[in-house]
Structure 1
Amino acid sequence: MELKVSSLAGRPDMLRAVLDMPDSWPEFTIQDPVGNAHYGRIATELPEYVLFAGTERGEVLAHAFSGPFRLATEGRHRLPDRGWDQVLVWAFADLRRGVRPDTVSAISIVVAPHAQGLGLHARAGATGTGVRRVCRAECVDAASPLTGIAHSLTGLARFLTGLAHSLTESPGT
């Protein structure tokens, strides 16, 4: 099976397939009011920050949503304790005001349930170009507000490109 990594900006025709991809989010994660208010906006208002791995048949097996924001500005300068809730607020406030982002945070990286358990995370290693084009300064993971953890990322595209590579080379596919 050959997968191709694309952005929604480059493939707007795949919006519905990306949004309809099954996931396995636990119930508590979808009860976040800030996340619920902003998460769905990423695909339509920031499509260049949504990457997905799709098959030649148009099936989406994984996607990654991220949020661009300006970290080097008054009152910010460090990743927020409120995690990606605050990042989403900053991202859409900056978008509304026309502020140029200098940082991109991972918001979610999701593998469709039927593609889970195939060792894709462990085998995902090649660095892709999607996030390097988008991430002009620093890419971070502000994590969930439930954890309060923040750490650096090498790029969201690494996972999706590695996923595509590993599925292409998997025996029996």
Structure 2
Amino acid sequence: MTEKDNIRIVPLAERPSLISRVYEINDSWPVFTPHDPVAGALLSRVPEDFPQYCVVATDGDRVVARGLGVPFNAEIDGREEMPDQGWDRVLVWAFRDRQYGHAPTAASALEISVDVDYLGRGLSYRMLAALRQAAGRQGHGTLLAPVRPTAKHLDPRVPMTEYLRRRRDDGLPADPWVRVHVKAGGTIEKVSPASMTVSGSLAQWRQWTGLPFDRDGDVDVPGALAPVHCDTAHDHAVYVEPNVWIRHGVQPHTG
């Protein structure tokens, strides 16, 4: 048996004892992302409230990856399947629909995080496939994903539309994570220009990043996909993250 074969991926609904453990992994999210107020308020509730849309990978007793997803209703007035406020918006819609009993019409992935010790083993492909299967088991024919390109932070000042035009010699996207989605059958649909927003005082940004934030204008922050805008007169800085909407067709198989 290979090391890869020791890793087991299941819907979180089948392993409810792991709901409280999915954040044990050592992931590589930038330091500022937990300060998105939508994430801070709602993300930790996703595994418990939507376990049938989430998946977990274990290696023995160790949790090594998580995949989170949510359902939402895209047909209510003022909504669409792929909103410009991407990640933040679908997360808010999911909990609002749960509260008011709105039947879901769409499913969206939120994140796939792999423990840094398990990167480079193809686990992200397997987690994406498991999220697609989870959506299919709930009767959905599509899994949407506001994807965060993993290499975009290396060129934060390049517009996302321009970045997505970069291709390898084989025609596949240059970005590694976008390429995983495309190779898995996903279709790049559109840019989500304001998928996540993090705002704070200049003192907060200094504390989060260790950077001075003492000049007006755009600041390049490690891990950020776009510059953070600094306004010293008004004592705040704002980060608006673009993502990429990718659509995956899945086979519904309820029952």
Whether TM exceeds 0.5 here: the answer is: yes
Provide the rounded CA distance (Å) in 2 between the counterparts of 1:11 and 1:125. Answer: 15
Kindly state the Cα deviation for residue 85 of structure 1 after the two structures are TM-superposed: 0.3
Please say if 1:151 is aligned against 2:246.
Answer: yes
2:9 to 5, 21, 25: 5
Secondary structure in structure 2 of the residue aligned to 1:9: helix
Kindly state the Cα deviation for residue 126 of structure 1 after the two structures are TM-superposed: 9.1
Provide the rounded CA distance (Å) in 2 between the counterparts of 1:63 and 1:154. Answer: 21
2:28 to 6, 24, 43: 24
Kindly state the Cα deviation for residue 15 of structure 1 after the two structures are TM-superposed: 1.8
Identity among equivalent positions (%) equals: 31
Unaligned stretches of 5+ residues in structure 2: 148-194, 197-240, 251-255
Amino acid at match of 1:72: E
Unaligned stretches of 5+ residues in structure 1: 156-173
Please say if 1:35 is aligned against 2:130.
Answer: no
Q: Which has the higher strand share?
A: 2
Please say if 1:140 is aligned against 2:235.
Answer: no
Q: Which has the higher helix share?
A: 1
Kindly state the Cα deviation for residue 119 of structure 1 after the two structures are TM-superposed: 4.9
| TM-score normalised according to structure 1 size | 0.78
Provide the rounded CA distance (Å) in 1 between the counterparts of 2:54 and 2:8. Answer: 14
Decide whether the 8 Å contact of 1:6 with 1:130 is kept in 2: no
Kindly state the Cα deviation for residue 138 of structure 1 after the two structures are TM-superposed: 2.2
* Structure with greater Cα Rg: 2
Provide the rounded CA distance (Å) in 2 between the counterparts of 1:106 and 1:126. Answer: 9
Provide the rounded CA distance (Å) in 1 between the counterparts of 2:98 and 2:83. Answer: 18
Decide whether the 8 Å contact of 2:54 with 2:134 is kept in 1: no
Higher relative contact order (CA 8 A, sep 6+): 1
Question: What is the number of residues matched between the two proteins?
Answer: 153
